Amino acid sequence: MEKLINIKLRVWRQKDAKSKGAFETYKLDNISTDTSFLEMLDILNEQLISERKEPIAFDHDCREGICGMCSLYINGRPHGPDDDVTTCQLHMRKFKDGETITVEPWRSRAFPVIKDLMVNRNAYDQIIQAGGYVSVNTGGVPDANAIPIGKPIADEAMDAASCIGCGACAAACKNGSAMLFVAAKVSQLALLPQGKVETAARAKAMVAKMDELGFGNCTNTGACEAECPKNISISHIARLNREFLVAKLKD
């Protein structure tokens, strides 16, 4: 049932990557509990604009839990207090009347702040460019059933492919590790025949790029899996480690 609540927001404001940031507090009254978190930020920005103040910069696109852009740290958790959702799928019913909500950008060395709540997640794109693809000859479209793949394997590959690259795993990790992201992208290809040809080169290239970009090491705390909005399993990290070790042994 819809209710109206009054809240306070402690929002991280930062002019640009080089400027020093700080929290600013805002008050919002009569917010519907059916409002999504991003819609609530829209309301706040409308209020700030009407007061001739600078609106808060934050990332968003699909608002359907698909694009992974809504990367916000809310009350100490990536994507907020709900489980298995992105920030755009989080609703204000998860908060109490009179509550103070702290909103921050991702805190990871590899994701520098651009402005306010926006961070540069280009590091993930660079990891994909390093090896997250398959090389195939273009031409006629092959029959979808030309290469039989068992359902359990296909399902596991699809589960890995559900990663949206939002960065919650690195933001949740005390070491700022991107292992869950890299493992998911390696798994979705390594499990399928089309991806096996480049398995060794892919694992080495993506891990090397991850290290180069300043992500930390994995110490298996499981925080990445706990905060992943798509329930990516850390079992994929074990597969990545195996693929990487085999590739190195072959060298």
Which pLDDT value is given to residue 166? Answer: 97
Measured CA to CA in angstroms, residue 30 lies from 47, 101, 230 at distances of 13, 15, 32
Measured CA to CA in angstroms, residue 235 lies from 124, 165, 241 at distances of 20, 17, 10
Architecture of the structural domain at 121-250? Orthogonal Bundle (1.10)
What mean pLDDT, rounded, does the chain reach?
94
Which pLDDT value is given to residue 138? Answer: 65
Q: How many CB atoms lie within 10 A of CB 99?
A: 14
HSE-CB for 178 with a 13 A CA cutoff: 31
Domain extent listing, the chain: 4-114, 121-250
Tokens at residue 205, please? 């290239």
Tokens at residue 199, please? 């398995």
| pLDDT tens track for 193-232 | 888 889 999 999 999 999 999 999 999 999 999 999 999 9
- CATH for the 4-114 domain, from 3.10.20.30, 3.30.70.870, 3.90.1150.10, 3.40.50.620: 3.10.20.30
Burial (0-12, 13-18, 19+ Cβ within 10 Å), 22? exposed
Tokens at residue 13, please? 């404001």
Region 16-32: what's the mean pLDDT? 96
How do beta strands 4-13 and 100-104 pair? parallel
Which pLDDT value is given to residue 144? Answer: 65
Task: Give bridge partners of residue 5 from the DSSP assignment.
Answer: 31
8 Å CB contact between 66 and 98: no
| pLDDT tens track for 106-129 | 999 999 999 999 999 999 999 999
Tokens at residue 249, please? 């042994």
CA–CA separation, 116 vs 14, rounded Å?
5
- The confidence band for 135, taking pLDDT boundaries of 50, 70 and 90, is confident
Cα dihedral 237, 223, 124, 150 sign: positive
8 Å CB contact between 175 and 216: yes
Measured CA to CA in angstroms, residue 220 lies from 128, 241, 247 at distances of 23, 12, 22
Residue 27 CB contacts under 8 Å (≥ 6 apart), including other chains? 6, 7, 8, 9
Which pLDDT value is given to residue 231? Answer: 95
Region 158-170: what's the mean pLDDT? 96
Tokens at residue 61, please? 């696109």
